[in-house]
Chain A
Amino acid sequence: GQQLNQSPQSMFIQEGEDVSMNCTSSSIFNTWLWYKQDPGEGPVLLIALYKAGELTSNGRLTAQFGITRKDSFLNISASIPSDVGIYFCAGQLINAGKSTFGDGTTLTVKP
């Protein structure tokens, strides 16, 4: 099946620093999604991307849908302690319920 390679696997940063993580795929997707999971909870959708080349922001978060439709990145600016968690990318195809997730990036923010 399709596989997503998400990197880095983990990050340890100081509060205030910027963060960047990315996902690459061996095949194309119509939609790229970024989720955050807090401990003991289910993932929550942060940003959805629908067009190749699209750049979308949600507060301090910015994500881009790669031109080739096989990759996406997520940036977090000026990190704060509540940014701690696991970030997942996911790819979906239109008219298909199937979604493929990356293995996640665990973010730790030191105050």
Chain B
Amino acid sequence: EAQVTQNPRYLITVTGKKLTVTCSQNMNHEYMSWYRQDPGLGLRQIYYSMNVEVTDKGDVPEGYKVSRKEKRNFPLILESPSPNQTSLYFCASSSSSFYGYTFGSGTRLTVV
């Protein structure tokens, strides 16, 4: 089944403890992206990647890192999480900038 898989689904962590949210897609898509969703703010793009080793900042990149060493994987790294990064995170992939994204099921992160 064609899908975007992100893990974990739920995560509670403490301020300052580095964490990684993994994302993998099995559709051989060139484009991958991370979004965060907060009540009343819709979906905001954090980082995106148009190909292996090519990443670029979205609208809210501060406090996040990404890497794209392989086509299928696009992990999101929070080096020193803070409470304002408590949010619902989505990974997504697409075959082209011309088409829409296929989204994963989300990771609900709580930073205390």
- Please list the residues of chain A having a beta carbon within 8 angstroms of any beta carbon in chain B: 1, 6, 30-31, 33, 35, 40-45, 48, 50, 88, 90, 92-104
Are B33 and A42 in contact, CB atoms less than 8 angstroms apart?
Answer: no
Known: A33-B100, A42-B106, A92-B97. A97 touches B42 (CB 8 A): no
Known: A42-B104, A93-B97, A97-B33. A1 touches B59 (CB 8 A): yes
List residues 69-92 of chain B with CB under 8 A from any CB of chain A: 90, 92
The verdict on B41 contacting chain A, using a C-beta distance below 8 Å, is yes
Known: A99-B33, A103-B40. A42 touches B105 (CB 8 A): yes
Please, which residue of chain B has its CB at the minimum distance from the CB of A44? B103
B interface residues, tally (CB under 8 Å): 29
**Within 8 Å CB of A103, what residues of B?**
40-42
- Please list the residues of chain B having a beta carbon within 8 angstroms of any beta carbon in chain A: 4, 31, 33, 35, 40-45, 48-50, 56, 58-59, 90, 92, 94, 97-106
Of all A-B residue pairs in the complex, the 5 with the closest CB atoms, nearest first, are: A42-B103, A97-B48, A103-B42, A45-B100, A101-B43
Are A100 and B98 in contact, CB atoms less than 8 angstroms apart?
Answer: no
13 A-B pairs with C-beta separation under 8 A: A40-B105, A41-B105, A42-B92, A42-B105, A90-B100, A92-B97, A94-B97, A96-B97, A97-B50, A98-B56, A99-B45, A100-B59, A103-B40
**Within 8 Å CB of B48, what residues of A?**
97-99
